[in-house]
Amino acid sequence: MSSYSISGTNVRVECEDNWLTQRVIGAIDEYFFMIRDGIIPDSYGITLRFKNSDFSIKASEKAQQLYVSSSLRVLRDGDFYYLVGEDSLFQFDLRSGIGMGLLDPGFWERPIKYKQDFLMLSLLWLLRPHGLYALHANGLVRDNIGILFAGSSGSGKSTLSLSLIRQGWGYLSDDVVLLKHNPDGIEAIAFQRGFSFDLNLNNHYPELNKPLESSCLNGQKGFLDIDLIYPDRFQSSCFPNVLIFPNIVSQEKSQLIPIDRAKALILLIENSGGIMVDKEIVVKQMGVLKRLVYQTSSYQLLAGRDLYEEPERIYEIISGLNGV
């Protein structure tokens, strides 16, 4: 049994044997920005229980499918939710804050990003009732300026973020940050470690070559621990004041276009995980998104060929925005 915490929420991890414990705890330490506590608290927020796969838990054939991707499905069966992979299953009881994971030994032979995504989604489902909401975004910080690049996979978030990190910016996390209501505003919180991005970026930044060679996800994407290349840039949280929604386009020159709050809210909703699952949680999550819109200036970035050829130009494009 081990205990972690993230932004004030305790996470208890229980495994049925030492073999599984070593792999689960090793993966959590490697993939997520959570603090491992030495003492198991008397009161805790959520519990993750892991077992080796034995098919004792499964969703019924009548379970409602909420989400499907090439490798994962999310189902609902009464009060329970299920995250289902080819060699893994997680059952969630949001009311009790308990998740039960069944992992086939083959799960641990999967690519890094697959394992990270499965464990990440398992955590996110249970963290939502505690006021921690996922947003598909990268967080950047410099001189008290917080920027969120929000968008789906392939929108250019990681490439833009790495370009700014290389120019001295601090970073929260890649692809997913957590949002939390705070008396001072909406806070963005670092969540998952590592960056995945287009392998072609190492043509612009030679220092990425060596890490990418040993951490290739597939023929197009690489995965690396960015702290090994740009140390001391990590920031655990920030209060964003700029929202940028990137979109890769075929035009020659990139454009940064201001957008109104209504459009910004729609784009935030599109990039917020699990938002329509539970009515009570939806109301609270929508409140966080609305407040985020009001505390930020919002823009749509049409990322053209100039940014593809010279990604470092992103600083020139955003220079002057809200004190940047």
Q: CA–CA separation, 76 vs 78, rounded Å? A: 6
Structure-block tokens of residue 235:
């920031």
What pLDDT, on the 0 to 100 scale, is given for residue 44? 63
What pLDDT, on the 0 to 100 scale, is given for residue 54? 64
3-class SS of residue 97: coil
* Rounded mean pLDDT, 34-58: 74
Which range, 91-100, 193-202, 217-226, has the best average confidence (pLDDT)? 91-100
**pLDDT tens figures, 264-321:** 999 999 999 766 666 778 889 999 999 999 999 999 999 999 998 888 899 999 987 7
What pLDDT, on the 0 to 100 scale, is given for residue 32? 93
Structure-block tokens of residue 141:
């910080």
> Whole-number mean pLDDT of the chain?
86
Structure-block tokens of residue 7:
């932004």
What pLDDT, on the 0 to 100 scale, is given for residue 36? 84
Partners of 89 in the beta sheet? 84, 102
3-class SS of residue 92: strand
**pLDDT tens figures, 105-134:** 888 888 888 888 889 988 998 999 899 999
* Rounded mean pLDDT, 72-81: 85
Architecture per CATH, domain 133-323, reads as: 3-Layer(aba) Sandwich (3.40)
* Rounded mean pLDDT, 72-80: 84
Res 70 pLDDT > 80:
no
Partners of 198 in the beta sheet? 221
Closest CA to 274 of 51, 108, 120: 120
Res 103 pLDDT > 60:
yes
Closest CA to 160 of 319, 322, 312: 312
- Per DSSP, helices labelled H in 32-111 are none
Q: Where in the chain is the domain with CATH 3.40.50?
A: 133-323
- Tell me what percent of the residues of the chain surpass a pLDDT of 90: 46
Partners of 138 in the beta sheet? 149
What pLDDT, on the 0 to 100 scale, is given for residue 131? 92
Using alpha carbons, list the distances in angstroms from residue 320 to 89, 145, 160, 213, 314. Answer: 47, 11, 17, 37, 12
Of the given ranges (149-158, 205-214, 299-308), which has the lowest mean pLDDT? 205-214
- DSSP E strands in 115-194: the ranges are 133-142, 145-150, 170-171, 176-182, 185-190
